[in-house]
Amino acid sequence: MIQKEFADRATEILQNDKNVIGLAVSGSWLTNEIDEYSDLDLILVTQNRVSGDKQKMFDYAKRFGELLSGFTGEHVGEPRVLICLYNNPLLHVDIKFVTLEEFHQRIETPHVLLDTDGRLKRVLEQTEPKFPYPDYQWIEDRFWIWVHYALLKIGRGEYVEAFDFLGFLRMVVFGPLLHIKNGNLPRAVRKVETSLATKDFELLKATIPDYSKSSLLYSLQNSVSLYRQLRDALFTKAVMVDNNTEASVMKYFEKIKAT
């Protein structure tokens, strides 16, 4: 596989770099799910901080192959990642630049490719990965205001905005909660086609509208129904349900449907 060939080449290149503590790989590599469509997720651990200095980040990236283009990952809240596209072969590679101290905090246990003095192994033995889970109260506090927002856009005829907003709900609410319900890590809508029970996937698909008022309202209604089901299945009694806001928003929902 081209991903393994790239990782092997990067490992060889970094072996004699005195600033490098080690190199690890995460993502689909860990579950043996790499295929022709997979990217490569590398974690480069260095003595001196590289992240924050784009020139240094690019200098490392250019050593690994024919770098076509790249940019840092502020849009996903991770400026330490350089998102790269290489040529010959064409391959997407994410390179995360961390110090040894930062390597302690992780969402999964990566596979170590290079460990110059055993420090990466010791960190992995002494720490546990912590994948971020959604805060159910945070979702409940926002969900009905989000539904009202979607209704405003549909009522005004801003259908593209409403269409995109339903996608936001799938990413932030339905995908993660459905994954949890199915015993998976809450990775938004990643691999929902294969990771969810058929019934749950059909419920998720029912939140995808066409470009029309009737379809948007139907999908939003399905979204409300799905949220209520997931709330009943997953939330504990510690989560304070906002019944008053829910009732008022659903009353407005009927008004928009009638216009």
Q: Residue 105 is which amino acid?
A: Q
All CATH 3.30.460.10 domain ranges in the chain, comma separated: 2-126
Residue-wise pLDDT tens digits, 123-176 = 999 999 999 999 999 999 999 999 999 999 999 999 999 999 999 999 999 999
Residue-wise pLDDT tens digits, 189-214 = 999 999 999 999 999 999 999 999 99
Tell me which CATH code domain 136-258 carries: 1.20.120.330
Q: Look at residues 211, 224, 214, 223 and name the one whose alpha carbon lies nearest to residue 160.
A: 211
Q: How far is CA 129 from the centre of its chain?
A: 16
Phi-psi region of 239 (alpha: psi -120 to 50; beta: other; left: phi over 0): beta
User: What is the pTM (predicted TM-score) of this model?
Assistant: 0.88
CATH number assigned to the domain with residue range 2-126, chosen from the 4 options 3.30.460.10, 3.40.640.10, 3.40.50.300, 3.60.9.10: 3.30.460.10
Residue-wise pLDDT tens digits, 13-39 = 999 999 999 999 998 888 888 898 999
Rounded Cα–Cα distance for residues 140 and 221 (Å) = 17
All CATH 1.20.120.330 domain ranges in the chain, comma separated: 136-258
